[in-house]
Amino acid sequence: MTTPQPRTVADELRGAGLRVTAARVALLETVRSGDHLDVETIASGVRDRVGHISVQAVYEALHALTAAGLVRRIEPPGSPARFEGRVGDNHHHLVCRSCGAVADVDCAVGHAPCLSASDDRGFAIDEAEVIYWGLCPACSTAGTAAP
């Protein structure tokens, strides 16, 4: 009896109906190895892996990967779009008002979509997005330190 091989990034792309390219593989690996990355950071990570890629090509690939459910796009108000590899679990985010750091936070109570709308107005709700705002530990400590 053979042990099934773990799925590769290329397998995931094929399974999502996407063409496998070196840039898409590098992009997905970059997003998954990072932490809520912006487009410029992703582009830099892809360039480190495969050489030149335009920012427009990164945007196009991110759009395809997001539509396929392989990456998640988050857009905290006042911040650039960020991308993460954690998908499918309807987790939420903490955002620092000072430095812009973003961290994941699991749903604390309830079942997906984690929150129930007071009036769903006939919508079939399947996801809730919550952003908690505050100061990260570093900024909180810096703000309380004596001048």
CB-based contacts of 4, cutoff 8 Å, min separation 6: none
Report angle CA 130, 138, 97 to the nearest 5 degrees: 40
Q: Is 136 annotated as a binding residue?
A: yes
What is the Cα 129 distance to its own chain's centre?
Answer: 13
Distance, in Å, from the CA atom of 43 to the CA atom of 82, rounded to the nearest integer, reads 12
User: Is residue 107 part of an annotated ligand binding site?
Assistant: no
114 annotated ligand-binding residue? no
Binding-site residue positions: 96, 99, 136, 139
Binding-site residue positions for Zn(2+): 96, 99, 136, 139
